[in-house]
């Protein structure tokens, strides 16, 4: 939404004071301008910028496993390009592939973000990390928009299809419910500045250990 332009009201200048003083009246306005300009310049030099750093500079939370941390700088860049929270993108990667770029599901989903084949063009290389991230995070961004910014519903939409966002949770599949059961608290921990996450540890122990071991070996991590 464009911001309204400020309205400036012109006012009549006060007549110059012809009374006593060290400087003649006609010198006061130029002198005041010089003093104010120097003061503002000094303030600008000493005052740090207040704008938050771009997403690409923020990185991702330390709560994610070493395999996902391997992709940290790339996740930040991909997330910035797709306009999604890098920690939300990392949450999806954690659950989908644990950072294995060659992961493949029994349903045919591929790569880091487990993207289904119909999201790729005929010229795409689905396992290429940049391509896989672009297609997966584009869908995540659509899911976030459809959920009006509700990350919990966006996670459900990413797993079960955007159509589930407008349906009652009782209609969600068991897989989608489980996806949200772990994904949402992982994301909350990451977003809230936690240094570790019980949700990540529980997901790892119940579902992610073999997936992460596979990713660990594929990435050649120590």
Q: Which residues of the chain have pLDDT under 50?
A: 1-57
Q: Are 190 and 155 in contact (CB under 8 A)?
A: no
Beta bridge pairs of residue 104: 110
- Res 58: pLDDT: 58
Q: Strand, helix or coil at 117?
A: helix
The 10s digit of each residue's pLDDT in 48-79 is 333 333 433 458 999 999 999 999 999 999 99
Structural domains of the chain, with CATH? 55-219 (1.10.530.10)
Element (H, E) at 212: helix 209-219
Q: Helix 151-160 vs helix 86-96: angle between axes, to the nearest 10 degrees? A: 40
The mean pLDDT of the chain is 82
Q: Helices marked H in 7-100 — which ranges? A: 28-46, 55-58, 66-69, 72-82, 86-96
Q: Is the pTM of this model over 0.85?
A: no
- Res 33: pLDDT: 43
The structure tokens 């599901």 sit at 105
């Amino acid at each position: 939404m464009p911001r309204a332009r400020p309205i400036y009201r012109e006012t009549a200048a006060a007549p110059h004071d012809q009374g006593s003083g060290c400087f003649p009246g006609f010198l006061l306005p130029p002198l005041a301008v010089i003093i104010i300009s120097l003061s503002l310049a000094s303030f600008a030099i000493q005052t740090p910028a207040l704008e938050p750093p771009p997403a690409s500079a923020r990185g991702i939370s330390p709560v994610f496993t070493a395999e996902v941390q391997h992709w940290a700088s790339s996740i930040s860049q991909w997330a910035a390009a797709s306009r999604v929270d890098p920690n939300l993108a990392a949450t999806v990667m954690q659950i989908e592939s644990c950072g294995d770029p060659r992961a493949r599901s029994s349903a045919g989903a591929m790569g880091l973000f487990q993207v289904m084949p119909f999201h790729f063009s005929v010229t795409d290389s689905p396992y290429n990390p940049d391509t896989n991230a672009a297609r997966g995070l584009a869908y995540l961004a659509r899911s976030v928009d459809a959920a009006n910014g509700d990350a919990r519903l966006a996670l459900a939409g990413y797993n079960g299809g955007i159509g589930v966002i407008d349906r009652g949770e009782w209609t969600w599949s068991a897989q989608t419910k489980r996806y949200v059961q772990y994904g949402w608290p992982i994301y909350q921990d990451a977003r809230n500045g936690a240094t570790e996450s019980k949700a990540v540890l529980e997901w790892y122990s119940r579902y992610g250990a073999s997936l992460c071991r596979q990713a660990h070996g594929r990435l050649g991590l120590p």
